[in-house]
Amino acid sequence: MKLTKEQSQEIKDQQSQQNKTKRVTAPELEKILYEAIPVLDHGFIRVIDYMGDDTSIVQSARVSYGKGTKKVSTDSGLIKYLMRHWHTTPFEMCEIKYHVKLPIFIARQWIRHRTANVNEYSARYSILDKEFYIPKPQHMSGQSTTNKQGRGLNLSRKDTEKFLNILKDDAERNYKHYEEMLNEDQSGEVKDDNKQGLSRELARINLTLNTYTQWYWKIDLHNLLHFLYLREDAHAQYEIQAYAEIILNKIVKKWVPHTYSAFKEFQLESYNLSKTAIEIIKKKLKGQKITFEKSGLSKREWDELSFKFKFK
Amino acid sequence: MKLTKEQSQEIKDQQSQQNKTKRVTAPELEKILYEAIPVLDHGFIRVIDYMGDDTSIVQSARVSYGKGTKKVSTDSGLIKYLMRHWHTTPFEMCEIKYHVKLPIFIARQWIRHRTANVNEYSARYSILDKEFYIPKPQHMSGQSTTNKQGRGLNLSRKDTEKFLNILKDDAERNYKHYEEMLNEDQSGEVKDDNKQGLSRELARINLTLNTYTQWYWKIDLHNLLHFLYLREDAHAQYEIQAYAEIILNKIVKKWVPHTYSAFKEFQLESYNLSKTAIEIIKKKLKGQKITFEKSGLSKREWDELSFKFKFK
Amino acid sequence: MKLTKEQSQEIKDQQSQQNKTKRVTAPELEKILYEAIPVLDHGFIRVIDYMGDDTSIVQSARVSYGKGTKKVSTDSGLIKYLMRHWHTTPFEMCEIKYHVKLPIFIARQWIRHRTANVNEYSARYSILDKEFYIPKPQHMSGQSTTNKQGRGLNLSRKDTEKFLNILKDDAERNYKHYEEMLNEDQSGEVKDDNKQGLSRELARINLTLNTYTQWYWKIDLHNLLHFLYLREDAHAQYEIQAYAEIILNKIVKKWVPHTYSAFKEFQLESYNLSKTAIEIIKKKLKGQKITFEKSGLSKREWDELSFKFKFK
Amino acid sequence: MKLTKEQSQEIKDQQSQQNKTKRVTAPELEKILYEAIPVLDHGFIRVIDYMGDDTSIVQSARVSYGKGTKKVSTDSGLIKYLMRHWHTTPFEMCEIKYHVKLPIFIARQWIRHRTANVNEYSARYSILDKEFYIPKPQHMSGQSTTNKQGRGLNLSRKDTEKFLNILKDDAERNYKHYEEMLNEDQSGEVKDDNKQGLSRELARINLTLNTYTQWYWKIDLHNLLHFLYLREDAHAQYEIQAYAEIILNKIVKKWVPHTYSAFKEFQLESYNLSKTAIEIIKKKLKGQKITFEKSGLSKREWDELSFKFKFK
């Protein structure tokens, strides 16, 4: 990730603000406010603004449940209770706003999370940066043979090199043609004053899906956790996991540490047993022998369950 | 509106906070943060938290439109432009959280605005306050004869008095029975130790619709303006207008003054001409005579249009 | 539940329709279309319209996953797979519309499910029916001592009777006053031609929370299942459970039988183990002894887990 | 647009269904159900399912407003009334589901409409078709000089030809490389049995933004009209207008003809006058002379207003 001078200066200016407020603040999050945390080769995530902290969740839960919550004496205890019982509305009372730079193919997955606010850089108005996501060699994996949507073994070194060259060459050629059709370069400088460029909204259709875009993305904490639940998961595409991992461990952890712990304990690292699986576990705890054939599970379910609980 | 000692103290404590932040702040709004602004007889609105200000709208618009917005030099100019062209997403980048005390029949209208976050006081857990909305005599109007959902002329003084007494007596009697069934009073004090009270979730069904409830309500600025557009309108029920009026003129105005002005100019006080009405105005501007019969409008539309534009 | 002649006739008319369509149909659901299924004392649920069936879910999943789904040969297998992996968007492809008559205090819980479309009977325009929810004696329970929001033991027969009378009397008196203030009875008949009634939007505030209202409610299948997950649960208030139970077992089961089974297996009757609970189960399966003290769980979590899995 | 044999057969099969239903049907829409209506060079729109018609809107409005709506005797009159007063919830009671084939850069605009349900073809699971959007020569316009996001004059014939070749060549080369990296062709045939292909989720990042994708898209009528309001507009990109135009005039018109007319009259072809513009019109109607300088409008607003109402 390389920031332009202009961007670096803007970040410095934003970080040098010293405002007074009566609102609650999250001091650990304030320390990294506006900072561009690098992701992938050219991407970044910046926290631009936030509202509330762990105490805000507690505060609104106590409004809902009134005296009913008095007995749960600690904030951390109440947050655990809420998370465990899927009482989600108190977590909606916190909000965070990010500035994200990300490849378009990732943006397309990300945007599927509808309960969020987005302002994306518009390539109808302005010229996209000349930046493309090119995977690292170790991420150039083949199609998984077991998981229809995932990656399997790495390719040969030769193919990896060859394919990386294809990705680079095609992205660059297409971008060069983009500038040519626009009759402008990426800084907006007109190339040939005697010529008219193709409209931006059309010229951009020549770009590849690994071109970087950027947006402001604002979301409440409950919906953010749901995003992380799906995108920090091993089944998500590696490139979006990379963003989710940073949001979870570098940002949410600093912002709402009690929520972070409760989320890991009761959701992220929890395991859902189906009705049939519950019965199997109960029988095994009583010492009964259960085989796949008598389990009532599909092969896939049985394999997953027996692996998870280390059936001999 | 009367606050308990406990509530007044809590507000004082919240207002005495002096936190440092690098986030943008809205100094005029900070001045009234946490303050309970009275509405109706026992209701209030308090701003509990907020995110962003006018500059946040501008900032995200500039991310979207990139260099395209450079020419609109002022923040105020850009906000007007956005409002005029219904570019709504930049206004979603600001967020505000309220603590509202309001009668249940108003809460039922309010909650129809779905794009918001709510934590309501739960009468399944806790006992509702002994507070009911009783209209002022001047608001005791009869059914409108022209507007199927609205109010018309005031009632006679005698009927007004009689009906106000009904409202008071019924609310109080039902509340007294509520306490009796609960075997507790409103402070949670058990009345008769040898008795078991009816569960709260059932006892409350005896309460009247003018009983006050309270909630935390969080919403983004775009959706808040839409709420105000509908609820600050003369066709809305007076009691919800009272809340909308305060949110608009006492809160939004302090928080995002440029947005406030643009909202009034381009939405709240704007007027929508139908396709047929456009043609009528055009003809009249050319000096042509148009009668209702030849207008192509319904009677209602014609009356409204000719009143609005003072056709002689 | 008693329907007016007018309503019964309307239902008959709707049911006698015989239209031809190229859309998919759900024959079992067609049989009960428009029928008013009774709930509580005066409530009902009617299916008014629907879109799609189990095959619609499969169809859109196959569009998403393309050839990836070819191997899962049966519709039922694919639906199980989707449900098990929380692939929720295919279930959004079915839609259902209900006409529901329900007490206002239940409507207030119900409406919290925001991703749905609602048209409620407006008491600003029209007069509410004279119908109140009065619990059956066996539902007149005291407050639970363990569950802050729930019901516990039944009241004494004497108190039950007394409180039922209070509920009936208060609801009826308040309704009588409602008619008096309106100067109209429930059929809209003006009582005294020389008098003006109070506006409907005000008169209704005298009604009790157990007054029945009605609405059209439209929701997609995914969000309906989420509603049922929360409202068919033993922690939900009995009166909303009564509606959820009918929707689940009398309607969803007929409409999308494969989805119904998968929902029960993988969600409704599943159990979520926290990270710590997973470790406890694993240790117990290996024959290790775990006591509460060493479990790392709270007392409540331990009790729930050991009860669920019948730790000796 | 060219359909595969498989697709044509599927459409025939779907269209040959003859089901009986008690639901309301829209006979004109039934006639084109499942049909692939061509859009752009390779795109299409197909109506897959629908729920409700004009009478469903009326039905739910009558539930809301009760007797208040009795006086508006015709369905068409009531729909006009609802549309004119922005009573939007009755229009949410109709739902429609489309199968759409569209270029990725259009899909990215389209998906910004969040209140809808989507299942998109996943290029993580399956191989994308070899189809790219290439504009017709007459659509190869330069950047507008007045509208920052739009198109202006056409390019020279020479540049048009040159740029169209660039678009074709780059899309095809990138697709060829996509197949090469996958070690599969578009039908999923493995190219070299001794080689492992790059995972699909990575190989696709080489594709250009004009590659076609497809999805199922389901939306309620109110939100569909809002989509059309924005996307059928002259400021929308031509390529998305092409889809909106067909949805509006070939589908909505057949499905809900009264709503279609009211939408055009009161929304699509209406005009919003700002507070200041209202005053100008009023003054001009009284015969007063207003110049730009004294108008209180910005230059842009004045130009637009005076053009719209043909100020001499």
Q: Mark yes or no for CB contact B205/C204 under 8 Å.
A: no
**Minimum-distance CB partner of D133 among A173, A205, A210:** A205
**Minimum-distance CB partner of C20 among D18, D67, D216:** D18
* D288 interfacial to chain B (CB closer than 8 Å): no
| Domain co-membership, B127 together with B144 | no
What is the model's pLDDT at position A70?
57
Q: Which residue has the tokens 């492809």?
A: C93
What is the model's pLDDT at position C186?
83
Q: How far is CA B252 from CA B263, B264, B269, B283, D274, in A?
A: 10, 11, 16, 39, 20
Cβ–Cβ under 8 Å, residues D254 and D35: no
Three-state SS annotation for chain A: CCCCHHHHHHHHHHHCCCEEECCCCCHHHHHCCCCCEEECCCEEEEEEEEECCHHHHHHHHHHHHHHHHCCCCCHHHHHHHHHHCCCCHHHHHCEEEEEEEEEHHHHHHHCCCCCCEEEECCCCCCCCCCCECCCCHHHCEEECCCCCCCEEEECCHHHHHHHHHHHHHHHHHHHHHHHHHHCECCCCCECCCCCCCECHHHHHHHCECCEEEEEEEEEEHHHHHHHHHHHCCCCCCHHHHHHHHHHHHHHHHHHCHHHHHHHHHHHHCCEEECHHHHHHHHHHHCCCCCCHHHHCCCHHHHHHHHHHCCCC
Say if residue A187's pLDDT is above 70: yes
| Domain co-membership, B200 together with B143 | yes
DSSP chain C: ----HHHHHHHHHHHT--EEESS---HHHHHTTT--EEETTTEEEEEEEEE--HHHHHHHHHHHHGGGGTTS-SHHHHHHHHHHTT--GGGGG-EEEEEEEEEHHHHHHHTT--SSEEEEPPTTTSPPPS-B----GGG-EEEPSSSTTSEEEEPPHHHHHHHHHHHHHHHHHHHHHHHHHHTB-TT--BS-TTS-PBPHHHHGGGSBTTBEEEEEEEEEHHHHHHHHHHHSSTTS-HHHHHHHHHIIIIIIHHH-HHHHHHHIIIIIT-EEEPHHHHHHHHHHHTT----HHHH---HHHHHHHHHHTT--
Q: List the alpha helices (DSSP H) in B66-156.
A: 75-84, 104-110
Q: Using alpha carbons, select from C62, C59, C31, C60 the residue that is nearest to residue C47.
A: C31
pLDDT tens by residue, D17-48: 999 999 999 999 999 999 999 999 999 999 99
Handedness of CA D161, D165, D166, D167 (dihedral sign): positive
Q: Which residues contact B287 (CB under 8 A, 6 or more apart)?
A: none
What is the model's pLDDT at position D148?
65
Q: How far is CA B4 from CA B7, B41, B129, B209, D307, in A?
A: 5, 15, 11, 23, 60
The Cβ of residue D216 has, within 10 Å, a number of other Cβ atoms equal to 26
Residue A145: what residue type?
T
Among C72, C274, C285, the strongest candidate for a mutation testing the A interface, having the largest count of A CBs within 10 A, is: C274
Q: Mark yes or no for CB contact A15/B24 under 8 Å.
A: no
Cβ–Cβ under 8 Å, residues D258 and D286: no
d(CA D228, CA D113): 11
Among C119, C198, C216, C239, the strongest candidate for a mutation testing the B interface, having the largest count of B CBs within 10 A, is: C198
What is the average per-residue pLDDT within B7-14? Answer: 93
Residue D73: what residue type?
S
| Domain co-membership, A29 together with A101 | yes
d(CA B298, CA B296): 7
d(CA C47, CA C31): 10
Residue A64: pLDDT band with limits 50, 70, 90: confident
For A132, phi then psi, to 5°, come to -125, 145
What is the average per-residue pLDDT within B266-282? Answer: 97
d(CA D26, CA B97): 45
What is the model's pLDDT at position B154?
86
| Domain co-membership, D80 together with D102 | yes
For chain C, give the percent of residues with pLDDT over 70: 96
Cβ–Cβ under 8 Å, residues B144 and B151: yes
| Domain co-membership, C3 together with C97 | yes
Q: Mark yes or no for CB contact B275/D286 under 8 Å.
A: no
Residue C70: pLDDT band with limits 50, 70, 90: low
The Cβ of residue D36 has, within 10 Å, a number of other Cβ atoms equal to 17
For chain C, give the percent of residues with pLDDT over 90: 84
Contacts of D277 in chain B (CB under 8 A): 270
| Domain co-membership, D10 together with D94 | yes
Quote ipTM for the complex. Answer: 0.95
Number of domains forming the structure of chain B: 3
What is the model's pLDDT at position B81?
93
Query: Does the residue A220 lie in any domain?
Result: yes
For D192, phi then psi, to 5°, come to -130, 110
Q: Using alpha carbons, select from C281, C270, C273 the residue that is nearest to residue C310.
A: C281
Say if residue C45's pLDDT is above 70: yes
Residue D292: what residue type?
F
Say if residue B28's pLDDT is above 80: yes
Query: Does the residue A198 lie in any domain?
Result: no
Residue C168 tokens read as: 């009936």
Say if residue D73's pLDDT is above 80: no
What is the model's pLDDT at position D27?
97
Say if residue A71's pLDDT is above 60: no
| Domain co-membership, B128 together with B96 | yes
CATH code of the domain containing A99: 3.30.1360.170
Residue A18 tokens read as: 């010293």
Cβ–Cβ under 8 Å, residues A210 and A132: yes
d(CA D127, CA D122): 8
Residue D67: pLDDT band with limits 50, 70, 90: low
For chain D, give the percent of residues with pLDDT over 90: 84
| Domain co-membership, C98 together with C148 | no
Burial of B132 (0-12, 13-18, 19+ CB in 10 A): buried
Lowest mean pLDDT among A308-312, D156-160, D288-292: A308-312
d(CA D236, CA D109): 10
Cβ–Cβ under 8 Å, residues D106 and C70: no
What is the model's pLDDT at position A26?
98
What is the model's pLDDT at position C197?
93
Lowest mean pLDDT among A69-78, B105-114, B125-134, C209-218: A69-78
What is the model's pLDDT at position C149?
66
Q: Which residue has the tokens 């009531």?
A: D78
Say if residue C145's pLDDT is above 80: no
What is the model's pLDDT at position D59?
93
What does the longest C-alpha to C-alpha distance in chain C come to?
86
What predicted TM-score, i.e. pTM, was given to this entire model? 0.96
d(CA D53, CA D95): 9
Which one has a higher pLDDT value, C184 or A187? C184
Residue A103: pLDDT band with limits 50, 70, 90: very high
Residue C152: pLDDT band with limits 50, 70, 90: confident
What is the model's pLDDT at position D232?
93
d(CA A104, CA A123): 12
What is the average per-residue pLDDT within A126-150? Answer: 87
Catalytically active residues of C are 231
* A149 interfacial to chain C (CB closer than 8 Å): yes
Listed by number, the residues of chain B in 263-282 with a beta carbon closer than 8 Å to a beta carbon of chain A are none
pLDDT tens by residue, B249-260: 999 999 999 999
Say if residue D255's pLDDT is above 80: yes
Lowest mean pLDDT among A11-20, A180-189, B281-290, D143-152: D143-152
What is the average per-residue pLDDT within C133-149? Answer: 85
What is the model's pLDDT at position D186?
83
Name the strand (E) or helix (H) holding D119.
Answer: strand D117-120
Residue C225: what residue type?
L
| Domain co-membership, A15 together with A97 | yes
pLDDT tens by residue, A241-289: 999 999 999 999 999 999 999 999 999 999 999 999 999 999 999 999 9
3-class DSSP state of B221: helix
Chain-centroid distance, C-alpha B15:
24
What is the model's pLDDT at position B65?
76
Nearest C-alpha in A relative to D181: A163
Query: Does the residue A148 lie in any domain?
Result: no
**Minimum-distance CB partner of B177 among C111, C166, C182:** C166
pLDDT tens by residue, D108-141: 999 999 999 999 999 998 999 999 999 999 999 9
Q: Mark yes or no for CB contact A310/C275 under 8 Å.
A: no
What is the model's pLDDT at position B149?
66
Q: Using alpha carbons, select from D240, D172, D239, D180 the residue that is nearest to residue D207.
A: D172
Cβ–Cβ under 8 Å, residues A54 and A75: yes
| Domain co-membership, A42 together with A65 | yes
Q: What is the mean pLDDT of chain A?
A: 94
Q: What is the Rg, in whole angstroms, of the alpha carbon atoms belonging to chain D?
A: 24
Question: In Å, how far is C97's CA from the nearest CA of chain D?
Answer: 8
Domain span holding position D179: 137-209
| Domain co-membership, B143 together with B121 | no
| Domain co-membership, D240 together with D260 | yes
- Which chains border B (3 or more CB–CB pairs < 8 Å)? A, C, D
Is there a catalytic annotation at residue A231? yes
Which of B56-65, C229-238, D187-196 has the highest mean predicted lDDT (pLDDT)? C229-238
d(CA B51, CA B26): 9
For chain A, give the percent of residues with pLDDT over 70: 96
Nearest C-alpha in D relative to A104: D205
Name the strand (E) or helix (H) holding B29.
Answer: helix B27-32
Lowest mean pLDDT among A44-58, A183-197, C50-64, C86-100: A183-197
Q: Which residues contact C33 (CB under 8 A, 6 or more apart)?
A: C14, C15, C47, C48, D22, D23
* C74 interfacial to chain A (CB closer than 8 Å): no
d(CA D267, CA C288): 71
Residue D185 tokens read as: 């062709």
Q: How far is CA A246 from CA A100, A113, A130, C77, in A?
A: 12, 18, 24, 36
Lowest mean pLDDT among A72-76, A138-142, B121-125, B152-156: A72-76
Say if residue B82's pLDDT is above 60: yes
